[in-house]
A and B are shown apart, each in its own frame.
Chain A
Amino acid sequence: MATAPESAAVGVSVWEVEPGERRKPGIVHVVMMALFIGIGIVVGTLGSLAIPIGFVSLFWPGQAVQALGGIWFGAWGVIAGMFFPFISNALSGSAPIPVSAAYLPANFLQGFLAAAGFRWLKADPRLRTWRDWAVWVVIGVLLANFLGAFWGTYVLTWFGLITEAARPTALFGWFIGNSVPSLIFGSILLKYVSPMILRSKTFVKGWLA
């Protein structure tokens, strides 16, 4: 198979700390977290305004930002992914603050699952092998978005924004509406931006550095 030699060449995982390599959290990580919140605000707001359906995100590439943040920047990215929706939702008018607060566990999972999946299964963020793709698609996109949609629609029912009977349909709509842009948007970014990130000092191999 064409990917086998490449896979072998990739060999040492990008997550492995090399002998003598010193890694500790620093200002650059905090700055990157802040910038990533900024990117999330832009992507999330524009995404919500693109198809203004309010709290039910039928097109929300923000999840890709959450997943990529976790993969590239560990805990800093996960935290960024948890908090940018507060501001992007308020700016686009798609959810008030209490609803955004209720989404918090979903926003955590949508960033954390991809981060943990890539680290635990030693997948390469540059998506070099079919295995990397599988980890990304199954955990980073499908599982993360399913759990996100599961919790998100629960929140909607909790706030009375949809009926209980409509929940399965809303869950399906939410899942597809988030998964498709995440898959397209996230895959392209992982493929083209990861090489840059891996060379930078902002890349986090563990959770904090």
Chain B
Amino acid sequence: MPKAEIAKKTLLGVVPVDSPFYRFHPATRLMLLVFLSVTPLFVDLPEINLALIAVALFLLRWGKVQLGQIKRYLPLLFTVALFMFTVAYLAPGDRAMLTPFKLLGLTFYLEPIWWAFVSYCRLIAMLFGAILYFSTNRERDLLVALRTIRLPFAASYVLALSLRSAGMFMEDFATIREAQQARGLDLESMSIADKVKLYTMYAVPLFAVALRRADEISNALFARGYTLSARPATGGKRSDYLRKQYRLLARDWVAIAAMGLVFGAVVALRIGWGAFTDDASLLKALFRWGVGV
């Protein structure tokens, strides 16, 4: 028996065919991206940012995203951590002002290492916002959301065309690479210099194709009555059928209001009362106790 399709490939990645996210208006989902991307900026307390990561993971799972697909971000998450902690170790700043501690025979300084951890939690929380969005939204959702927030049509159209062309160029890239591998090209054994050269040589036909496409697409746009002013022959406003297929329902307004309230509260508490600083962190206390300072 054929397996039911559970995920669908789009230009931006893979999204579930069926997801509770789709009960919400695309604009609400865009608001979630903004909320998860911006809120961590006002939060130093790593516990909160870790909680936001947990929320994003829960939402990925609830949204029926195949968690396997986020594995491709793991090397990046690891190397970013390695980089940040190495920088904090090698260039901690004015050592006289810092609190040293010993670990595995090496001398570390508490403040930069801790701050690297705080910043890492914030960065990953923001990244998970983007991962969640791109794992649960198709290009069309992004377009509808942008049209709903009244982004000018020309701007949303440019974005759509960019995404479409990125998909086409990715395919062109893959085709060239597969063709070369089929003819015995062994990328594994190539030096970095050769890889860079090869990468560059991929780009030349890519630009040639882009030029041809620019001509073709601009002709096609003219043929279908597109103008920069987006004003139809009848005068008045351009129709917006796509946007009208979606309606903001009560649950959308509730979700948007909830996100707005939480965000507003976080900002007010941070700016007005100095909340969410790392001074109140239990993890910090635990860390200090762990390293004995």
Interface of A toward B, CB cutoff 8 Å: 25-28, 30-39, 41-43, 46, 50, 52-56, 61, 84, 87, 90-94, 96-99, 159-166, 169-170, 181, 184-185, 188-189, 192-193, 196-197, 200-202
Question: When the two chains form the complex, which single residue of A34, A50, A52, A184 contacts B161, counting CB atoms closer than 8 Å?
Answer: A34
**What are 15 sample pairs from A and B whose C-beta atoms fall under 8 A apart?**
A26-B228, A27-B218, A27-B228, A38-B169, A41-B163, A41-B169, A52-B75, A61-B199, A160-B119, A163-B92, A166-B87, A184-B196, A185-B200, A188-B203, A200-B215
- A34/B76 in contact, CB under 8 A: no
Chain A hits for B73, CB < 8 A: 93
**Is the contact region of chain B dominated by helix, strand, or loop, or is it mixed?**
helix
Contact count A vs B, C-beta below 8 Å: 190
List 18 extra interface pairs beyond A32-B210, A96-B130, CB under 8 A: A31-B213, A34-B161, A37-B166, A38-B161, A41-B163, A42-B166, A42-B206, A55-B123, A91-B134, A93-B76, A159-B122, A160-B119, A163-B93, A165-B92, A165-B112, A166-B91, A188-B204, A201-B215
> Chain B's nearest CB lies how many Å from the CB of A137?
17
Q: Would B76 and A54 count as touching, CB distance under 8 A?
A: yes
Partner of A160, one of B33, B122, B210: B122
Residue from the list A27, A39, A164, A184 in contact with B207, Cβ < 8 A: A39
A103 to B86, CA, bound (A): 23
In the complex, the answer to whether B83 meets A189 with C-beta atoms within 8 Å is no
- Complex interface: chain A residues within 8 A of B213 (CB): 31, 35
Partner of A34, one of B83, B87, B127, B162: B162
B158 to chain A: closest residue by CB: A34
The residue of chain A having its C-beta at the shortest distance from the C-beta of B167 within the complex is: A38
Number of B positions contacting A (CB below 8 A): 73
Which chain B residues lie closer than 8 Å to A38 at the CB level? 161-169, 210
A35 and B210 contacting across the interface, CB-CB below 8 Å: yes
**Nearest residue, chain B, Cβ from A33:** B158
| Assembly CA distance A110 to B280 (angstroms) | 41
Known A-B contacts A38-B163, A39-B165, A93-B73; the reply to A161 vs B12 at CB < 8 A is no
The distance in angstroms between the C-alpha atoms of A163 and B88, with both chains bound, is: 6
State A141–B202 Cα separation when bound (angstroms).
21
Most buried by B among A30, A46, A93, A201: A93
Per the bound structure, the CA–CA distance linking A41 and B163 in Å amounts to 8
Q: Which residues of B contact A185 (CB under 8 A)?
A: 196, 199-200, 203
Give chain A nearest CB distance to B207 CB in angstroms.
Answer: 5
